Amino acid sequence: MSNRTGLPSAASALGGLDLLVNNLGGGGDNELAATFLESTDEQWAQMFDLNFFSMVRTTRAALPSLLDRRGGIINFSSMSGRIPHTAPLTYAATKGAVNTFSKGLAEEFGPQGVRVNTISPGPVRTEQWAGPDGFGAKLAAARGISQEQLLRDVPREMGSTTGTFAEPHQVAALVAYLASPLASAIHGADYAIDGGAIKTA
């Protein structure tokens, strides 16, 4: 296993791994790109390296221990992977790749005892949206509105039925449930936590 992920030392220190949660991602330097033609090959490569290939590498490093202990994997995707948008398209494309990757892992390793599920959040009130230096602040500035106004507008713009952001503790509760024995029969599923923004059955 490569030391690039830090997982070999973690597995050694802990006596093995029971759960891998891949929850790294973001928009990189291309967060505010409006159209496909504005994006560059370098931005596409950066986005896939950040949101997809980091997950591939970490999962490959963790799987031997997860197979030994019949553990689980929870991959974070996004509602953008199921209802792609153009702000930016690069981000949505990486999340679509995460969904396909997760389904493939579930098929290959489920029979060997490793459960794989995906969580697809809509907007979550994290520092990325609500912090003074995050994506939300940049987007509000680009629109010429206050960040408070942006936070009121975004859930509705994304089609949320509730009209509110999800809170981090709500997402964490879903992770805890999927990792627990209560969810032992759930495998290969994608859980949306988006206030009802995804309208398909």
Active-site residue set: 91
Q: Scan for tokens 């790294």, then name that residue.
A: 24
For the CA atoms of 58, 107, 98, 89, the dihedral, rounded to the nearest 10 degrees, stands at 160
**Angle of the 54-69 helix axis to the 7-14 helix axis, nearest 10:** 20
Residue 195 CB coordination number (10 Å): 21
Residue 26 CA to residue 170 CA, distance in Å, equals 20
In this structure, the strands spanning 190-193 and 115-121 are parallel
Backbone angles phi, psi at 111, to 5 degrees: -65, -15
